[in-house]
């Protein structure tokens, strides 16, 4: 049962009317409210203030776009509480509700009228260094506007060398993000799989590939051309040295998203195929 709720908001919304409406809706239902330390506004005196890495709550409500949700997840404990995203961004594919649906959503939470969609993460290692886990994708690239040569392996079997702006390895959750923009396929979230997508490849050296999640993808810098970097969920970057190998595999950890709708394809139509969306502030 949901009793304690953590509220996280995008920095520009810490003193917004939207945040106040959400707080009022939470308090109206007698729920215990905690506020993330970075989300504290001028009128938030008296609330319990917590750090993301030390939360002890039943769910996390995040007001913002996909970037805010990804940032929050990365800073929560690995076994994080269920996530409910309130869309205040431009696409909001990770979000479940609009600001106008917050009352209805909280009522359903209290009744247990929801389901948990567990999205697996990607674990990334550079030699023996473990990077933060990815929710959406791992990108191996180089400086903007330049190409890099990379060797791609699947389960230690050499696939091919590719000269491209980069290579993306994306989860089903992330397949609707950068991977889709680069020409990759959308993966149904029920699939136990992920996808490899080259970014602007030179010649037909690599095509998008869908792999079962038990496969391990290894990407090696050939040392030819520019120094590659690894980017996790578009937010965290690591530079690679010559000859270093990046290994990407399925993590044992999941992100529990709160879902009220079951139709994944309706969400694709709503979020990705419909234009002129209006965001309520």
Question: Structural domain boundaries of the chain?
Answer: 4-114+260-272, 122-252
Give the bridge partners for 35, in sequence order: 7, 49
Residue 127 annotated to the active site? no
- pLDDT-based confidence at residue 125 (cuts at 50, 70, 90): very high
Q: Are the CB atoms for 171 and 134 separated by under 8 Å?
A: yes
Residue 268 banded pLDDT, cuts 50, 70, 90:
confident
In this prediction, residue 278 carries a pLDDT of 47
> pTM here?
0.90
**Model confidence at 276: pLDDT above 60:** no
Q: What span, in angstroms and rounded, lies between the C-alpha atoms of 96 and 267?
A: 9
The two structure tokens encoding residue 42: 């001028």
The CATH number of the structural domain formed by 122-252 is 2.60.200.30
- What DSSP designation does 279 have? -
Q: Compute the distance between CA of residue 114 and CA of residue 27 in angstroms, rounded to an integer.
A: 20
Residue 151 has pLDDT above 50, yes or no: yes
* pLDDT > 90 fraction of the chain, expressed in percent and rounded: 76
* Structural tokens at position 223: 């040392």
Spell out the residues 6+ positions from residue 107 whose beta carbon is closer than 8 angstroms to its own: 29
From the list 66, 87, 165, 233, the catalytic residue is: 66
The answer to whether 254 touches 118, Cβ cutoff 8 Å, is yes
First to last CA, the chain: 30
pLDDT of residue 256: 96
Helix or strand (DSSP H, E) at 247? strand 245-259
Q: Model confidence over 204-252: pLDDT tens digits? A: 888 999 999 999 999 998 766 678 899 999 999 998 887 789 999 999 9
Residues 235, 215: Cα–Cα separation, whole Å = 25
Task: Give the Cα-Cα-Cα angle 14, 116, 254 (nearest 5 degrees).
Answer: 80
Architecture of the domain made up of 4-114+260-272: 3-Layer(aba) Sandwich (3.40)
What is the tens place of the pLDDT at every residue in 182-198?
999 999 988 999 999 99
Confidence of residue 281 (pLDDT cuts 50, 70, 90): very low
């Amino acid at each position: 049962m949901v009793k304690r709720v953590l509220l996280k908001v995008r920095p520009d919304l810490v003193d917004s009317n939207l945040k106040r409406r959400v707080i009022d809706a939470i308090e109206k239902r007698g729920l215990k409210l905690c506020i993330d330390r970075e989300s504290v506004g001028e009128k938030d005196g008296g609330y319990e203030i917590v750090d993301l890495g030390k939360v002890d709550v039943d769910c996390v409500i995040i007001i913002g776009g996909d970037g805010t949700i990804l940032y929050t997840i990365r800073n929560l404990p690995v076994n994080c509480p269920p996530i409910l995203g309130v869309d205040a961004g431009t696409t909001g594919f990770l979000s479940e509700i609009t600001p106008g649906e917050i009352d209805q959503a909280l009522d359903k939470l209290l009744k247990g009228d929801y389901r948990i969609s567990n999205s697996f993460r990607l674990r990334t290692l550079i030699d023996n260094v473990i990077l933060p886990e990815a929710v959406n994708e791992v990108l191996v690239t180089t400086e903007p506007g330049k190409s890099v040569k990379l060797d791609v392996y699947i389960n230690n079997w050499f696939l091919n060398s590719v000269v491209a702006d980069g290579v993306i390895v994306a989860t089903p959750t992330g397949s609707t993000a950068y991977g889709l923009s680069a020409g990759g396929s959308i993966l149904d979230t029920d699939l136990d799989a992920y996808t490899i997508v080259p970014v602007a490849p030179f010649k037909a050296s690599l095509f998008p590939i869908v792999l079962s999640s038990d496969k391990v993808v290894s990407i090696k810098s050939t040392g030819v051309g520019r120094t590659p970097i690894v980017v996790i969920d578009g937010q965290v970057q690591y530079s690679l040295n010559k000859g270093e190998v990046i290994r990407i595999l399925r993590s044992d950890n999941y992100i529990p998203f709160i879902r009220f709708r079951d139709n994944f394809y309706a969400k694709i139509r709503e979020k990705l195929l419909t234009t002129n969306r209006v965001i309520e502030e």
